[in-house]
Amino acid sequence: MRKRYVAQISKWRHPLVGCLFAVPFVALAISLVLMEEMLIHDFYFPGAPLFLAIVLVALMWGTGPALFAVLLSTLALDYFYIPPFGQFDVANWPGTLQILPFFLAGIVIAVISGQREAARRRALFAEQELQAHANELEQTNRELKEANQLKDQFLSMASHELKTPITTIRGQAQVMLRRLSKQKELPGELSDVRTALEKIDEQTYRLTALVNDLLDLSSMRSGKIELRLSRCDVRDICSSIVENQRLLSERTIELEMPPAPVILNADGDRMEQVVTNLVSNAIKYSPNEAPVQVSVRQRDKVVVLEVHDSGQGIPKDQQKRIFETFYRSPDAETARKSGWGLGLAICKDIVERHGGCIWCESRVGEGSTFFVELPVKER
Residues in contact with ligand ADP by CB under 6 A are 277, 281-282, 285, 309, 311, 314, 322, 327-329, 332, 339-345, 368
Q: How far is the CB of 306 from ligand ADP (least distance, A)?
A: 12
Q: How far is the CB of 371 from ligand ADP (least distance, A)?
A: 12
Cβ proximity to ligand ADP: between 82 and 166 the closer is 166
Kindly state the helix (H) or strand (E) to which residue 6 belongs, with its residue range. Answer: helix 2-8
Cβ proximity to ligand ADP: between 273 and 281 the closer is 281
Q: How far is CA 219 from CA 186, 216, 251, 274, 358, in A?
A: 45, 5, 33, 16, 20
What is the number of other CB atoms lying within 10 angstroms of the CB of residue 292? 26
The most distant pair of C-alpha atoms in the chain lies apart, rounded to whole Å, by 135
Distance CA 160, CA 238 (A): 31
Cβ proximity to ligand ADP: between 89 and 309 the closer is 309
Cβ proximity to ligand ADP: between 174 and 310 the closer is 310
Distance CA 56, CA 103 (A): 17
Q: How far is CA 128 from CA 8, 10, 131, 134, in A?
A: 12, 16, 5, 10
Per the document, the length of the chain is: 379
Q: How far is the CB of 182 from ligand ADP (least distance, A)?
A: 36
Q: How far is CA 117 from CA 61, 102, 109, 280, 318, in A?
A: 9, 22, 12, 68, 51
Q: How far is the CB of 357 from ligand ADP (least distance, A)?
A: 16
Helix, strand, or coil here: 86? coil
Q: How far is the CB of 234 from ligand ADP (least distance, A)?
A: 20
Cβ proximity to ligand ADP: between 309 and 349 the closer is 309
361: left (phi over 0), alpha (psi -120 to 50) or beta: beta
Bridge-partner residues for 370, per DSSP?
307, 360
Cβ proximity to ligand ADP: between 60 and 332 the closer is 332
Q: How far is the CB of 278 from ligand ADP (least distance, A)?
A: 8
Question: Which position's Cβ is nearest ligand ADP?
Answer: 339
